[in-house]
Chains A and B, each alone.
Chain A
Amino acid sequence: MRDEREFEDFYAAVFDRLVGQLYLVTGNLQDAEDVVQEALTRAAVQWSRLRRYGVPEAWVRRVAMNLASDGFRRVRRRLVVAVRLRADLESRQTVPAEVPGLIEALRALPMAQRKAVVLHHLLDLPVDQVAVELGVPVGTVKSRLARARGALATLLAPDAEARGLQDQGGAGTHG
């Protein structure tokens, strides 16, 4: 029972926060809720062991990140048996656009880049720890971050002038 109470507290503490983080990865609120819920269920299955790790939230986030991959999601949707309240699904795929264009820009990135962006820019993990989290070489993380930043800079620019093709034209000044 003590384990269950602990898990309930843990669930209450992390669910919203992880959904927020995973929303940036999935680009879809319902998907973010799904993968976080799935990851938390797996955490509940082995909670007595997991709680001893000390950082179960990182574990759940990593599982949710992996579940967010497209391939798994397609399969999972065929298998999933959980009953959900989806009456307002369509209206809940995105959150109100208080940050105009950002989620659309994130969606335009490959999933791998989105994960790197969230881990590094939102969660402040250094590049080598992002590499450990994602199980890829450090160079791959750097490349994904660099490309994501480039794409976001272009996608979030106020107008087409941000395109390199409309480069403002250089001007040299001498110091």
Chain B
Amino acid sequence: MDDLRERLAELAEQAAREARGPGATVTLRRARTWRRWAAGGRVALSLLLVLGLGLLTSRVLGDQESPPQVTTPPTGATPRQAPPRWTAAAAPRLVEPWERGPQAAGDLVVAASGHDEPARVRAYDARSGRPRWTYRTGPNAFVRALGDGWVIVAPDYGPLIALDLATGKQRWRFGLSSLQAAEYGTIAGDTLFIGTSFTTEGAVDPPVVYALDLATGRQRWRTVLDRGTDLQWAAPVVDGGQVLVADTLSHEGSAPTSHLHALDAGTGRVRWKADLHASQQGFFAEPPVVAGGLVYAATASRRLLALDAKSGRELWRARGFPVVAGVRDGLVIAAIEDRLAALDAGSGVRRWEVPVSGRGEHWPVLDGDTVYMASARDVVAVDAAAGTTRWRVPVDPAVGPPVRVGGRLYVATRSRLLALDASSGRPLWASARRRIVNGPLATQGSVVVATGDGTVLGFAP
């Protein structure tokens, strides 16, 4: 990654050395001309031209006439410092924050090196951090699905490789076409459901969803979706005998809109597809949520849609980009832009809302009767039924959803892993300051985070 940064900087510097412009004097002269035009009263052609330009750029200027955002990380009280129980070197540099971090399966933590070389998938004992196995692949390595004794690995542009979770031995591989990129998959029963997209510039080849026999890698079915789309980042949701996969435009203008597709889990037949009313590209890591016969899906047009799970019929929609935490007692609880909100599951009417601190990513988690949400500036615990705030603790920006284990809530921020008292928010301990990119992951008596320098750290809870 540093290598890419250096190469980009070098190229930018070369271009900067070659740059030629008319200079500030000419620019100021043009600006004065613009201002005279804008002052009005000129010929109609000039006015139309200015209006035309204004129309074309209204979005640009509309956004930009407010000051650019400058994030100032808040500082909270620093509690007792806790050292990691174990430290493991996972990769030369671990996956970046936008990649999936270490994942838990059985008594192991599995981590992949992403785009860094050499490409490796490694499994560690979750309690001790002791390496169990390493799998070499190339030119890069991602864990696409995990569970039920299997690890599904794929470099960009395939093939899919199935490993035995216990040993790291390859069991089968499934070839993909040139430039066909594997997305994240879901293991359900004896089947791997996984989608693929053609993600290169200008590609309009449709995504393909596969159902593969987990034991053999044999294809059970494949379903081709709509041209001009890519699959969402989230893995398929398997529920009620159907597989839900959402798509988005592969690039601007590549398709009229995006859809949520419900495929028959046994045959791949399309049972229904629902229009997500999103004519622009937008990817989400969060999958649709199914509860009480409804599907709650986020759209790139900044809506939360509630769809009938059997027919795909839209029942209601709510404005704002949502990250759904879960559904409980007839309430859909979601972070929606600058609010944590509860919507009536049947009607979408907002029942309560709590302001969210700071812009950036929100990580809401519904845990029993409490919603914990980590955001850019704080962690908040909210009563799920009433919407009352139980506590709020300032922290640096979080890098993942908080995890509760017993009476403790773990929050991974960009700089520390924090343990808080789940009932009061009182800080119990914190890791030493490091650049954390993924986590936390609670498994087998360890709380795990990954750092930007390629290290996996396991802490005693």
Contact = CB atoms under 8 A, between A and B. Distances in A.
B349 interface: no
B201 interface: yes
Nearest to A122: B8
Given A12-B24, A146-B96, A167-B137, 8 more contacts: A20-B13, A23-B11, A32-B19, A47-B31, A126-B71, A149-B96, A165-B178, A167-B159
A121 B1 CA distance: 8
Contacts of A149: 4, 96, 114-115
Interface in B176-211: 176, 178, 181, 199-201
A19 B10 CA distance: 13
Nearest to A52: B67
Contacts of B49: 79
B133 A142 contact: no
Contacts of B176: 164-165
Contacts of A153: 115, 139-140, 156
A45 to B, nearest CB: 5
Given A137-B321, A153-B115, A162 B139 contact: yes
Contacts of B24: 7-8, 10-12, 44
A171 B31 contact: no
Interface string A42-80: 101111000001110011001100110000100100010
B11 to A, nearest CB: 5
Indicate the size class of the contact surface on chain B.
35 or more
Given A136-B282, A142-B233, A157-B139, A164 B159 contact: yes
Interface string A1-34: 0001001101110011101110110000100110
B22 A164 contact: no
Nearest to A58: B68
Interface of A: 4, 7-8, 10-12, 15-17, 19-21, 23-24, 29, 32-33, 36-37, 40-42, 44-47, 53-55, 58-59, 62-63, 66-67, 72, 75, 79, 82, 84-85, 92, 95-96, 98-99, 102-103, 108-110, 112, 117-118, 121-122, 124, 126-129, 131-133, 135-147, 149-154, 157, 161-165, 167-175
B139 A164 contact: yes
B9 A122 contact: yes
A99 B168 contact: no
Interface of B: 1, 4-5, 7-25, 27-28, 30-31, 34-35, 38, 49, 52-53, 56-57, 59-61, 63-65, 67-71, 96-99, 114-115, 122, 130-140, 153-159, 161, 163, 167-170, 175-176, 178, 181, 199-201, 233, 251-252, 281-286, 300, 321, 359-361, 376, 397, 414
A20 B19 contact: yes
A5 B321 CA distance: 44
Contacts of A24: 8, 11-12, 15
27 contacts: A10-B24, A12-B24, A21-B12, A36-B19, A41-B30, A41-B34, A42-B61, A45-B31, A59-B68, A63-B64, A79-B53, A95-B18, A112-B251, A127-B97, A128-B71, A136-B281, A142-B233, A150-B156, A151-B200, A152-B4, A153-B139, A154-B139, A163-B157, A167-B159, A170-B170, A171-B136, A173-B136
B11 A8 contact: no
B368 to A, nearest CB: 26
Given A53-B68, A99-B7, A170-B161, A146 B99 contact: yes
B201 A142 contact: no
Nearest to A98: B14
A164 B137 CA distance: 9
Contacts, number: 285
Contacts of A85: 20
A21 B21 CA distance: 15
B156 A19 contact: no
Task: Give 10 closest A-B pairs by Cβ, nearest first.
Answer: A175-B131, A142-B98, A20-B16, A44-B31, A128-B360, A143-B283, A20-B12, A23-B15, A19-B19, A150-B156
Contacts of B16: 16-17, 19-20
A108 to B, nearest CB: 6
Given A20-B15, A112-B252, A137-B283, A55 B168 contact: no
Contacts of B134: 172-175
Nearest to B14: A95
Nearest to A108: B201
B282 A140 contact: yes
Contacts of A53: 67-68
A132 B21 CA distance: 29
A126 B284 CA distance: 17
A128 B376 contact: yes
